[in-house]
């Protein structure tokens, strides 16, 4: 390495200054990124398997948790359906609101809802009614 | 001629008797909840005198001489039961036992309360009306009693009771959906007196009472300290006071724990205005609880 010490110092300072901006951005993003998993971790979501079965094909159905839909089906094509969702599932269990609408004139019908959280065994509950039915089913 | 007169008088008497049997039942009510129920189920066939009025504390009510006179003139006295009205034996004695006393709470199983105040009510929670399920049994009990007293108007009592039962079913359905919006691990109820055991059973809440069951009681310092520890440990978001309670103790607890004051709950009966009906009171309590604990 040749050249004056002053020039070498200036070159090093310039190199450091050039690296400062990306370095700041990297550390800032890293800090922001660490916040997200902490928030997500407090949610403690579970993988929940939902399955529905109907005695008669309904027009539509909806399953709500804490007042918000976790599964909405506007066009039901068969008598059974299933879905995987990620949702909070406290050890105390969950209450799911199950709304089913059958065509007018359909006789008394049953709608089953099966819930399995993570690796737990599935629990089934059945709702009975005609026309528009809306009830809360409790799952452990 | 004499025979004819006698027969006419007999027919007239029979008609009057029939008319009286299909007349008005006079009822004295010792509960705001039962006053409304008697009016709904009885309709035009009952005249209800309410001795305990909205906003009055049924734990502290004692009948006055005028009340005793009105009760004496009644055919039926409706009481909450489950030891809420400890004056019932005296009331019965002073009215000469003329009016039948129906303790509606006897129609369904009791839930127990614990703690230092439990002996005052025989360890039972008398606030059974916070369960819609219990209210349905109560409506049937009142209906059957009215039919016994006035069989001629049986159809009307049955029709009115059916309408009341349908309304209660709708209310229960609404409550279940509203409470489902609250995660089960947040269903922890800290109230200013232990009056919501039936509500807790029906909707999956755990109760942490600030004091015993009657509003006369002042909680001890140790009890408050224990409660503060519990609220912190259980991460309870809000505490509640009810319509006739001084909220000072609750304010102290919220300061120590950081929990907020959840709002006013109607524990001892109907309020006034929108909460002056059972439907309004129950909806108010459910909405207040769900919003505060979310």
Has residue B9 been placed in a domain? Answer: no
Q: Which long-range contacts (CB under 8 A, 24 or more apart) does B272-278 make?
A: B272/B54, B272/B55, B276/B54, B277/B36, B278/B33, B278/B36, B278/B37, B278/B129, B278/B135
Q: What residues in A contact B204, CB-CB < 8 Å?
A: 95, 138
User: Do B162 and B46 belong to one domain?
Assistant: yes
Contact (CB<8Å) B173/A67: no
User: Do A73 and A120 belong to one domain?
Assistant: yes
The encoded tokens of residue A63 equal 């399953």
Average pLDDT of span B166-184? 96
Return the residue of A nearest to B177 by Cα: A136
User: Do A48 and A7 belong to one domain?
Assistant: no
**Order of strands, edge to edge, in the sheet holding B188-191?**
B206-209, B188-191, B238-242, B260-265
User: Do B226 and B169 belong to one domain?
Assistant: no
Has residue B15 been placed in a domain? Answer: no
Has residue B16 been placed in a domain? Answer: no
Residue B212 has pLDDT above 80, yes or no: no
From A66, A97, A136, residue closest to B183, measured CB to CB: A66
User: Do A5 and A68 belong to one domain?
Assistant: no
Residues 6+ apart with CB under 8 A from B71: B28, B51, B63, B77, B91, B95, B99
* Rg over CA atoms, chain A: 28
Sign of CA dihedral B170, B173, B177, B180: positive
User: Do B240 and B165 belong to one domain?
Assistant: no
Residue closest to B30 by CA, chosen among B67, B65, B66? B67
Residues 6+ apart with CB under 8 A from B240: B189, B190, B191, B192, B250, B261, B262, B263, B264, B265, B288, B289, B292
The boundaries of the domain holding residue A22 are 1-43
From B177, B183, B185, residue closest to A134, measured CB to CB: B177
Per-residue pLDDT band for A113 (boundaries 50, 70, 90) equals very high
Distance of residue A68 Cα from the nearest chain B Cα, in angstroms: 8
Query: How many domains, chain A?
Result: 2
Q: For testing the chain A interface, which of B173, B174, B177, B206 should be mutated: the one with the most A CBs within 10 Å?
A: B177
User: Do A130 and A113 belong to one domain?
Assistant: yes
- With b for 16 or more beta-carbon neighbours within 10 A and e for fewer, the A109-128 pattern comes to bebbbbbbbeeeeeeebebe
In B61-80, the residues whose Cβ lies within 8 Å of chain A are: none
Distance in angstroms (rounded) separating the CA atoms of residues A115 and B81 = 42
User: Do A23 and A60 belong to one domain?
Assistant: no
Return the residue of A nearest to B185 by Cα: A92
Distance of residue A30 Cα from the nearest chain B Cα, in angstroms: 32
Per-residue model confidence (pLDDT) at position A38 = 33
B204 touches chain A (CB under 8 A): yes
Contact (CB<8Å) B184/A92: yes
Q: What is the CATH number of the domain that holds B89?
A: 3.40.50.1980
From A67, A95, A135, residue closest to B184, measured CB to CB: A95
User: Do B26 and B169 belong to one domain?
Assistant: yes
User: Do B35 and B168 belong to one domain?
Assistant: yes
User: Do B66 and B166 belong to one domain?
Assistant: yes
User: Do B136 and B224 belong to one domain?
Assistant: no
Has residue B242 been placed in a domain? Answer: yes
Q: Does the interface predicted TM-score (ipTM) exceed 0.85?
A: no
Has residue B3 been placed in a domain? Answer: no
- With b for 16 or more beta-carbon neighbours within 10 A and e for fewer, the A75-91 pattern comes to ebeeeeeeeeeebebee
Query: How many domains, chain B?
Result: 2
Count the alpha carbons within 13 Å of B52 in the hemisphere toward its beta carbon: 25
Residue A55 has pLDDT above 80, yes or no: yes
User: Do B31 and B142 belong to one domain?
Assistant: yes
Q: What is the largest CA-CA distance in chain B?
A: 92
The boundaries of the domain holding residue B43 are 21-173
User: Do A95 and A112 belong to one domain?
Assistant: yes
Would you call B115 exposed, middle or buried from its count of C-beta atoms within 10 A (0-12, 13-18, 19+)? middle
**Of the listed ranges A5-14, A34-43, B114-123, B237-246, the one predicted with least confidence:** A34-43
pLDDT tens digits, one per residue of B246-268: 567 777 888 889 998 888 889 88
User: Do B76 and B141 belong to one domain?
Assistant: yes
User: Do B235 and B116 belong to one domain?
Assistant: no
pLDDT tens digits, one per residue of A116-125: 999 889 999 9
Has residue B129 been placed in a domain? Answer: yes
Q: What residues in A contact B185, CB-CB < 8 Å?
A: 90-92
Phi-psi region of B237 (alpha: psi -120 to 50; beta: other; left: phi over 0): alpha
User: Do B225 and B148 belong to one domain?
Assistant: no
Distance in angstroms (rounded) separating the CA atoms of residues A25 and A21 = 6
The CA-atom distances, in angstroms, between B4 and each of B1, B8, B9, B16, B81 are 5, 6, 9, 18, 53
**Quick check: A101 and A59 in contact, CB under 8 A?**
yes
* Rg over CA atoms, chain B: 22
Percent of chain B with pLDDT strictly greater than 70 = 85
User: Do A59 and A115 belong to one domain?
Assistant: yes
């Amino acid at each position: 390495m040749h050249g004056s010490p002053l020039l070498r110092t200036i070159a090093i300072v310039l190199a450091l200054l050039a690296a400062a901006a990306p370095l700041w951005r990297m550390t800032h993003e890293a800090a922001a990124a660490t916040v997200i998993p902490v928030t997500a971790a407090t949610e403690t979501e579970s993988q929940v398997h939902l399955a529905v079965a109907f005695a008669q094909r309904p027009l539509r159905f909806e399953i709500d948790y804490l007042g918000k839909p976790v599964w909405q089906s506007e066009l039901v094509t068969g008598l059974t359906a299933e879905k995987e969702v990620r949702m909070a599932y406290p050890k105390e269990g969950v209450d799911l609101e199950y709304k089913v609408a059958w065509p007018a004139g359909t006789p008394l019908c049953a709608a089953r809802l099966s819930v399995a959280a993570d690796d737990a065994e599935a629990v089934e509950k059945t709702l009975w009614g005609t026309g528009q039915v809306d009830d809360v089913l409790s799952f452990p | 001629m004499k025979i004819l007169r006698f027969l006419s008088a007999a027919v007239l008497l029979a008609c009057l008797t029939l008319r009286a049997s299909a007349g008005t039942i006079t009822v004295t009510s010792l509960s705001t909840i039962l006053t409304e129920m008697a009016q709904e189920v009885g309709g035009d066939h009952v005249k209800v005198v309410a001795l305990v009025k909205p906003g009055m504390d049924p734990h502290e009510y004692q009948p006055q001489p005028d009340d005793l006179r009105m009760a004496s003139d009644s055919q039926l006295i409706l009481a909450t039961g489950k030891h809420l009205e400890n004056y019932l034996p005296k009331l019965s004695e002073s009215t000469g036992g003329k009016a039948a006393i129906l303790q509606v709470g006897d129609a369904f199983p009791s839930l127990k309360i614990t703690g230092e105040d439990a002996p005052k009510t025989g360890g039972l929670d008398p606030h059974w009306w916070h369960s819609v399920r219990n209210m349905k049994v109560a409506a049937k009990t009142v209906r059957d009693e009215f039919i016994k007293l006035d069989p001629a108007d049986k159809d009307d009592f049955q029709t009115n009771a059916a309408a009341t039962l349908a309304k209660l079913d709708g209310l229960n359905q609404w409550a279940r959906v509203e409470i489902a919006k609250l995660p089960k691990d947040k269903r922890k109820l800290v109230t200013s007196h232990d009056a919501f055991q039936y509500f807790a059973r029906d909707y999956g809440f755990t109760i942490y009472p600030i004091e015993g069951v009657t509003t006369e009681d002042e909680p001890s310092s140790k009890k408050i300290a224990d409660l503060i520890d519990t609220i912190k440990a259980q991460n309870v978001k809000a505490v509640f006071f009810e319509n006739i309670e001084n909220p000072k103790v609750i304010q102290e607890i919220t300061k120590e724990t950081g929990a907020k004051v959840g709002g006013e709950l109607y524990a001892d009966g109907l309020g006034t205005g929108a909460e002056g009906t059972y439907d309004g009171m129950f909806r108010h309590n459910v909405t207040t609880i769900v919003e505060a604990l979310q």
